[in-house]
Chains A and B, each alone.
Chain A
Amino acid sequence: MKSFKLIVWVLLLGSVSALHAQQITGTVVDESGMGLIGATVLVTGTSTGTVTDIDGNFSLAVPPVAKSLTISYTGFSGQVVNLLEGQTDYQIILTEDGIGLDEVLVIGYSPVKRKDLVGSVSSISAEDIDVQAGSTVQSALRNAAGVVVQQSSGAPGAGYNIRVRGSTSITASNEPLFVVDGVPVISGDFAQTGIGGQGANALADINPSDIESMEILKDASTTAIYGSRAANGVVLITTKSGKAGKTKFDINSSYGFNEPIKLIDVVDNKGYTDYIEERYGTRNISALSSGLDTSVYNNWQDLIYDRNPILSTDVSMSGGDAKTKFYTALSYDDNQGALNGTRFRRYSTRLNLSHNPTDKMVTSFNLGYTNSNNKLIQNDNNIYGATSSAILLPPTVPIRNADGTFGSVFGLENPIAATTEYQNRLITNRLIGNVAATYYILNELSFTAKLGADIASIREKVFEPSTLQSSANGQIAEGSTTNTRLINEYTMNYNGSFGTTQFTAVAGAIFQRDDIVRNYFVTNDVPTNNFPSADAAANPSSVTGDLSGDVLHSYIANVNFNFGSSFYLSGSVRADGSSRFINDRWGIFPGVAAGYNFANGGNLGNIDLLKLRTSFGLTGNNNIGNFTTRQLYAGGATYLDAPGIVPSQIGNPDLIWESTAQFDIGVDAGFLDNRIGATVDFYVKNTSDLILNRPIPTTSGFSVVPQNIGDMRNVGVEASLTFVNVQQTDFDWTTTLFGAVNKNEVLSLYEDQPQDFGFATRLAVGQPIGSFFGYETDGIFQNQAEIDAVNALNDDRDYQTGVAPGDIRFVDQNGDGIINDDDRTFIGNALPDFTGGVDNKLNYKNFGLSFFFQFNLGNEVYNNNLAFAEGLNSVFAPTVRAYENAWREEGDGNVFPRITGGSGASNNRQDSDRFVEDGSFVRLKTATFSYNLPSSVLDAINFRALRLYVRGTNLITWTDYSWFDPEVNAFGDSNVALGTDFLTSPVGRTVEFGINIGL
């Protein structure tokens, strides 16, 4: 660069003598100093001008009367540069456009500028991804208007629950469709080893640092083109690509830690002994079970939660010329959870290549390969889990007994053993890629052929040595799953204009096939724990293997009209045919949208954009089993060594897709040179033909048949506001605020009968999904007189059976003087009333600061931990607050019931609002502070960029929730049993220190 500038100087010196048309030269660069190719440089007020070359340089003969130059570049704010007497060389720095209206998005199968968009789309840029610690795509996704991202467990590499405008399904999936570079990718949990509520996450194989941008498609006009898989929205992921210009090297390395946010106060050894004395009437706890010893104290949580390291390194190289561009990257992530024994490691590499062999042809090749190694431990509702035993196992159990074995009582696993002895590895090799070629038949008309592939090969290996409670003589389980997805896609694109009318059209055909091959075996009894090998085990207990898959044929068409950038019309349709259905294979999914921009050409003064838009469309959900519709006779019904077959599935050949009709109306506005941007949307989503299992008489030999039965509705409003508060040369500050309200309601079920899930979740007509159902409490019976009084209400029966003073009193909802099942009522809901976030980005000179607050308000958590750790009925260790505040005498004001077993305990541990807690929270989700070395220093050491940063996630959480963390679900990615906490490993707090080097 420096040498180049020298040449420019020489040239300038040579042209000094020229008069009249003065030659001006210069360079147009972005904020990082990179030259911008193709920026327009015009003499202000004239059509005289040029465009910059590959390094951002330009040279222009300007008339002597010229006062200034106007520079413009897509995606950046335009700039006017005054020409100064005697200066002929200009360095012009463009800043990125405040609210990104000129940004080009590829929505569906055609490109569109953000300001011309008539659908509803939320975007996450590489910059937003960069400020986020965490190694999965979902951790890079975060709350956006109408998008709720929830981490259901703290295990690294674990799943997330992502809801775009609410839930639309009960039995099929509620997760959006993920599309990487145009290829819909495999998502979900492929692990065959059950370890509790949490599973693995197939999307963890995509490396966030390779992502250029993510668009979340929310309304039906943008999602309909994805047809039968788009009812829950679509997340489009675009990976990074090279830009023409000097080859760039980027090195990013960070190191930090993951730590528990909070631990629970469980009684110590004295507290436990006191508790046992109150409960069982003896301080001699070893009489309760050998293995208990009052003098021993282990705080199990302290022993299994730690500040554990996380590390991330990636190197990329990108560049190219006018014909060939490339991006290549290699990265390594090593993420240990705050819970010892959990670890997720990933190697990933990517090559994105594009080449134009002729000026009529564009070819591209994108390929990402990942190898990940996920070390899992048992979790959630599982007596062998680490989190569960660390709470419930008495503190008076030794880590190891005198004979060297792990201390354990009541069949609970020893938490140390659970985190160190249990060996479960899930190793994934994943290849996601596509090859494409586009031929321009005319300038406006092109044909594209694209082959996409997503191949996930998962291997599981579990060894449970005999040192664990879960295995008497050692158990080995191994399995493999290979999911191969191939997609052929052919599209014709037309992109032209007639006068001021721009017109784009796409038509195409897509063929997709998935093959899933699985096998799994479990074998028991190894000679010693030194033989963690299937070879050495004596007793195979199960061997399974199967194949499934599906084929999807799709035909798509999409047209977009832009009438003079003021009126927009778009329509799309997709026909999907799926092998999953029998009698009715084809579904048609149309979507239409219209928009009118009232502020075109500056007619509204300071209002740069005021666009009213509306859309309507139909999308589907075919996420049911591959062979669910068929009537089958299955193998595996072995009798001893004789293979057997039995009728296994009644099937329903008339099954069709679940379908969601969505109406959306919204406004986009931009004010004050687009310094303020606003978007508001209102939508109604009606889902019908929900696939539910209809119970049938079991005299048929079957118990359920899947059928299109239910209906559900989501209605919501979402809004976002962006302010470019300050935009100066050495200081800029942008704030984005967004929020959303979504109201979900189940409209119909099979014969409108409610269905129960999880611990206290009920799905019922008229209620939102995720509703909690149980008894309403009314304090504690303080004396026998109170009990006698309510018992007198009904002549036949007692009010509550077997209660004594100190027991929880329930509300008699139907007033019959008896507390029974009929008195249960809806006592809470896991869905938040209001979600959103506030994002701030500040740059001052070379310092950068960004911080993002995320909030969920009005959601409840069913904290089933309390039924155990605060049940005050059993040998499990209670929490300090429950033990200390247990009812002991009349009027003591204590809120926890008496310490008791028997019918009193059954009463006190009933599903009730006692276990429903406010799960609202505001969280400083991410914060990053960075420093960019000034260009003077960079030039001296020949670096393009050098940035030092510290970033954190989940830094501060404000919540009233009593347990670890309100962002939790013991049922993992369940559609219906939501917001339930039961011995789930909590999310951790991370802090990382890092460096970016650009060469």
Chain B
Amino acid sequence: MLKQYNSLIWLVFLVGFTSCDYFDMDAIDPIDAVPAEAAITDATSARAARAGVYDALQDNSFDRHLAGYQYYSDEADWTGTFPTREEFDIYSVQTGNSTLAGMFSSHYYTINVANNILEILPSVEDPTLSDDAFRNSILAEARFGRAFAYLELVLGWGDVPLILTPTRGVGEELNVPKDPASAVYAQIISDLEFAAANLQDNLTLGMTKAAANALLARVALYQERWQDALNYATLAIGEDYDLTSIPYMEDEIWFLKYSSTDGNSLAFFYAPSALNGRLSISPSSELINAFEPSDLRKDQTIAELDGVVYGIKYDDFNLASGSQTDPIRFIRGAEMVLIIAEASARLGDFDTATEMINMVRERAGLDDIELNANNFEDAILQERFVELALESGHRLWDVRRMGRALEIFGPGGYDACDHVWPLPQREIDRNTALEQNDCCNC
């Protein structure tokens, strides 16, 4: 009988083997993610959330920040294999274009990342956030990132939904209509003014007061607010800026960096196969011919190998695709100098305009020119073309804002209705409040 109960101990042991806590329904949480409401709680997590804004800007970088615009202008040609990119090159972007849809959604992804910080951070109470200057600097980075995304959106599509709160639910609230471009610009300016006032350059991951002012200058230029453009550009680079003392391409004001563990594939797309690249994009003959004979910038912009011409502004050819480290230089000092030149000329100050454009030309090893009311627009457009070639979408934006797209891009197939890209069809399908714009293929 005793033996019988002895054996029961074994059973009791089995029953009590594992603790109840182990099988608690809430025992397992991910370690690489936290609930949204627990994401930003103190200074450290605020810093991490702000790094997320930069990370979001890195997303889809080739099509979104570079190739989409460069194909869609006379600066580069499509030499790749993806037909959706070819549609940009021939100014015939269809509503169903998946590259277009990807560009559009990566901007809004960035915006949602920023909106989360802007909603959560102001109300977080934590001793580590007692310094308002620090908190405002983080908020300024978020607003800078959001403004940057909206600027690319408004330049590409015109009227777009203006979303300023983070996404929490998945119901009807996701159906948002377009807002007029003017409202989007107003928000961009408001965000950038906050950034210019509150960025603490020593605390950020690269966004600076100068960069915020530089973007304000660019926006003012696009809106033909010449005096504002002049003022902001001057604020960005300072009164006595000497471009000639800085080597070409080293005058960055705002650029996105990469490392081999946080890399891109830009060189892979720009390089020929002999350099392990895919040559999805090539400098156009218009660009190649735009360089004056002794222009030092040419050899830092394009190269030739076995008869193949390719862009070398992204030249980290030795590393594997996805691990390449070329930065994207969104704003350089030279752009500010040229904004001052243009704004001065528009305001009738041709002395300053001439001085400024010659500073750029001098660094490029070119002879001085004299700007006047008749030649300045062509000269500045030409100088911007070669100085800023294959960086961002300056060529498209400049030609468009000067109202010369039909003249310059027309031979390539650009029509008046190509002033905006179509809103992606999938957005029209999913968002009952969104109406298509008046693009050519809409």
A: which residues have CB within 8 A of B?
357-358, 360-361, 363, 435-437, 439, 447, 449-451, 472, 475, 486, 488, 490, 511-513, 515, 524, 539-543, 545-551, 553, 577, 579, 585, 626-627, 630-650, 652, 694-703, 705
Judge whether A632 and B23 touch: CB under 8 Å.
no
Judge whether B48 and A645 touch: CB under 8 Å.
yes
Judge whether A640 and B174 touch: CB under 8 Å.
no
Report the nearest B residue to A635, measured CB to CB: B32
Judge whether B116 and A449 touch: CB under 8 Å.
no
The stretch of B14-22, B124-132, B377-385 in contact with A is B14-22
Judge whether A697 and B4 touch: CB under 8 Å.
no
- Give the shortest distance, in Å, between A378 (CB) and chain B (any CB): 17
Further contacts, 16 of them, CB under 8 A, given A635-B32, A650-B167, A696-B170: A360-B4, A361-B7, A436-B14, A547-B28, A547-B31, A551-B28, A577-B25, A579-B28, A631-B168, A639-B52, A640-B205, A640-B257, A642-B51, A643-B51, A700-B167, A703-B105
Report the nearest A residue to B120, measured CB to CB: A633
Task: Pick the residue among A512, A633, A705 that contacts B35 (CB under 8 A).
Answer: A633
Report the nearest A residue to B55, measured CB to CB: A637
Judge whether B18 and A638 touch: CB under 8 Å.
no
Judge whether B56 and A650 touch: CB under 8 Å.
no
Bitwise, B56-70 to A at CB < 8 A (1) or not (0) is: 101000000000000
Judge whether B23 and A513 touch: CB under 8 Å.
yes
- Give the shortest distance, in Å, between A906 (CB) and chain B (any CB): 9
Task: Pick the residue among B112, B258, B276 that contacts A701 (CB under 8 A).
Answer: B112
Judge whether A627 and B33 touch: CB under 8 Å.
yes
- Give the shortest distance, in Å, between B308 (CB) and chain A (any CB): 15
Q: When A541-B261, A633-B33, A634-B33 are in contact, do A449 and B11 touch as well, CB less than 8 Å?
A: yes
**Residue B163 CB within 8 A of the other chain:** yes
- Give the shortest distance, in Å, between B177 (CB) and chain A (any CB): 10
Judge whether A488 and B11 touch: CB under 8 Å.
no
Judge whether A546 and B31 touch: CB under 8 Å.
yes
6 closest A-B pairs by CB: A701-B112, A644-B51, A698-B105, A633-B39, A639-B54, A646-B52
State in angstroms the CA–CA spacing of A447 and B11 once bound together.
9
**Residue B175 CB within 8 A of the other chain:** yes
**Residue B111 CB within 8 A of the other chain:** yes
State in angstroms the CA–CA spacing of A185 and B420 once bound together.
56
Task: Pick the residue among B15, B36, B259, B434 that contacts A449 (CB under 8 A).
Answer: B15
Judge whether A437 and B11 touch: CB under 8 Å.
yes
- Give the shortest distance, in Å, between B374 (CB) and chain A (any CB): 45
Judge whether B260 and A541 touch: CB under 8 Å.
yes
Judge whether B35 and A699 touch: CB under 8 Å.
no
State in angstroms the CA–CA spacing of A649 and B170 once bound together.
11
**Residue B26 CB within 8 A of the other chain:** yes
Q: When A439-B8, A488-B17, A702-B167 are in contact, do A645 and B108 touch as well, CB less than 8 Å?
A: no
Report the nearest B residue to A700, measured CB to CB: B167
**A-contacting residues, B293-316, CB 8 Å:** none
Between-chain CB contacts (< 8 Å), 29 pairs: A357-B10, A358-B7, A361-B8, A363-B7, A437-B10, A439-B11, A449-B15, A451-B17, A490-B15, A513-B23, A539-B319, A546-B30, A579-B25, A579-B26, A579-B28, A627-B33, A632-B30, A632-B35, A633-B33, A635-B32, A636-B32, A637-B113, A638-B261, A640-B258, A642-B205, A648-B33, A650-B170, A698-B427, A701-B108
- Give the shortest distance, in Å, between B205 (CB) and chain A (any CB): 6
Q: When A540-B261, A639-B205, A699-B431 are in contact, do A451 and B14 touch as well, CB less than 8 Å?
A: yes
Task: Pick the residue among B116, B170, B320, B427 that contacts A647 (CB under 8 A).
Answer: B116
Task: Pick the residue among A488, A524, A645 that contacts B18 (CB under 8 A).
Answer: A488
Judge whether A700 and B174 touch: CB under 8 Å.
yes
CB-defined contacts of A543 to chain B, threshold 8 Å? 261
State in angstroms the CA–CA spacing of A116 and B441 once bound together.
69
**A-contacting residues, B145-180, CB 8 Å:** 161, 163, 166-168, 170, 174-176
Report the nearest A residue to B5, measured CB to CB: A358
CB-defined contacts of B182 to chain A, threshold 8 Å? none
> Most chain-A Cβ atoms within 10 A of its Cβ — which of B33, B45, B104, B163?
B33
Judge whether B426 and A699 touch: CB under 8 Å.
no
State in angstroms the CA–CA spacing of A417 and B320 once bound together.
20
Judge whether B430 and A697 touch: CB under 8 Å.
yes
Task: Pick the residue among A490, A636, A644 that contacts B49 (CB under 8 A).
Answer: A644
Q: When A546-B30, A640-B259, A698-B109 are in contact, do A472 and B276 touch as well, CB less than 8 Å?
A: yes
State in angstroms the CA–CA spacing of A699 and B175 once bound together.
9
State in angstroms the CA–CA spacing of A963 and B167 once bound together.
50
Task: Pick the residue among B55, B276, B319, B434 that contacts A638 (CB under 8 A).
Answer: B55
Judge whether B35 and A524 touch: CB under 8 Å.
no
**A-contacting residues, B247-264, CB 8 Å:** 257-263
Report the nearest A residue to B104, measured CB to CB: A698
CB-defined contacts of A646 to chain B, threshold 8 Å? 49, 52, 55-56, 113
Report the nearest A residue to B260, measured CB to CB: A539
Judge whether B31 and A541 touch: CB under 8 Å.
no
State in angstroms the CA–CA spacing of A937 and B344 once bound together.
112
Judge whether B35 and A630 touch: CB under 8 Å.
yes
CB-defined contacts of A551 to chain B, threshold 8 Å? 23-25, 27-28
- Give the shortest distance, in Å, between A431 (CB) and chain B (any CB): 16
- Give the shortest distance, in Å, between A517 (CB) and chain B (any CB): 9
State in angstroms the CA–CA spacing of A667 and B196 once bound together.
81
State in angstroms the CA–CA spacing of A46 and B319 once bound together.
91
State in angstroms the CA–CA spacing of A541 and B264 once bound together.
11
CB-defined contacts of B261 to chain A, threshold 8 Å? 540-543, 638
Judge whether A705 and B7 touch: CB under 8 Å.
no
CB-defined contacts of B434 to chain A, threshold 8 Å? 697
State in angstroms the CA–CA spacing of A456 and B182 once bound together.
59
- Give the shortest distance, in Å, between B191 (CB) and chain A (any CB): 17
State in angstroms the CA–CA spacing of A642 and B109 once bound together.
20
Q: When A543-B261, A699-B163, A699-B176 are in contact, do A631 and B35 touch as well, CB less than 8 Å?
A: yes
Bitwise, B302-337 to A at CB < 8 A (1) or not (0) is: 000000000000000001101100000000000000
Judge whether A639 and B58 touch: CB under 8 Å.
yes
State in angstroms the CA–CA spacing of A910 and B419 once bound together.
33
Judge whether B161 and A699 touch: CB under 8 Å.
yes
CB-defined contacts of B31 to chain A, threshold 8 Å? 546-547
CB-defined contacts of B52 to chain A, threshold 8 Å? 637, 639, 644-646
**Residue B373 CB within 8 A of the other chain:** no
- Give the shortest distance, in Å, between A484 (CB) and chain B (any CB): 11
**Residue B34 CB within 8 A of the other chain:** yes
State in angstroms the CA–CA spacing of A690 and B25 once bound together.
24
Task: Pick the residue among A490, A511, A513, A705 that contacts B28 (CB under 8 A).
Answer: A513
Judge whether A633 and B36 touch: CB under 8 Å.
yes
Task: Pick the residue among B17, B28, B32, B49 that contacts A626 (CB under 8 A).
Answer: B28
Judge whether B14 and A541 touch: CB under 8 Å.
no
Judge whether A697 and B259 touch: CB under 8 Å.
no
CB-defined contacts of B7 to chain A, threshold 8 Å? 357-358, 361, 363, 439
Report the nearest B residue to A643, measured CB to CB: B48
CB-defined contacts of B6 to chain A, threshold 8 Å? 357
State in angstroms the CA–CA spacing of A701 and B114 once bound together.
10
**Residue B346 CB within 8 A of the other chain:** no
Task: Pick the residue among B101, B174, B259, B322 that contacts A641 (CB under 8 A).
Answer: B259
State in angstroms the CA–CA spacing of A695 and B175 once bound together.
12
CB-defined contacts of A637 to chain B, threshold 8 Å? 51-52, 55-56, 113
Report the nearest A residue to B7, measured CB to CB: A357
Judge whether B36 and A632 touch: CB under 8 Å.
yes
Report the nearest A residue to B319, measured CB to CB: A539
- Give the shortest distance, in Å, between A466 (CB) and chain B (any CB): 12
Report the nearest A residue to B276, measured CB to CB: A472
Report the nearest A residue to B27, measured CB to CB: A551
Judge whether B14 and A546 touch: CB under 8 Å.
no
Judge whether A513 and B8 touch: CB under 8 Å.
no
- Give the shortest distance, in Å, between B329 (CB) and chain A (any CB): 16
Report the nearest B residue to A513, measured CB to CB: B23
Judge whether A695 and B426 touch: CB under 8 Å.
yes
Report the nearest B residue to A579, measured CB to CB: B25
State in angstroms the CA–CA spacing of A652 and B167 once bound together.
13
State in angstroms the CA–CA spacing of A569 and B382 once bound together.
89
CB-defined contacts of A542 to chain B, threshold 8 Å? 261
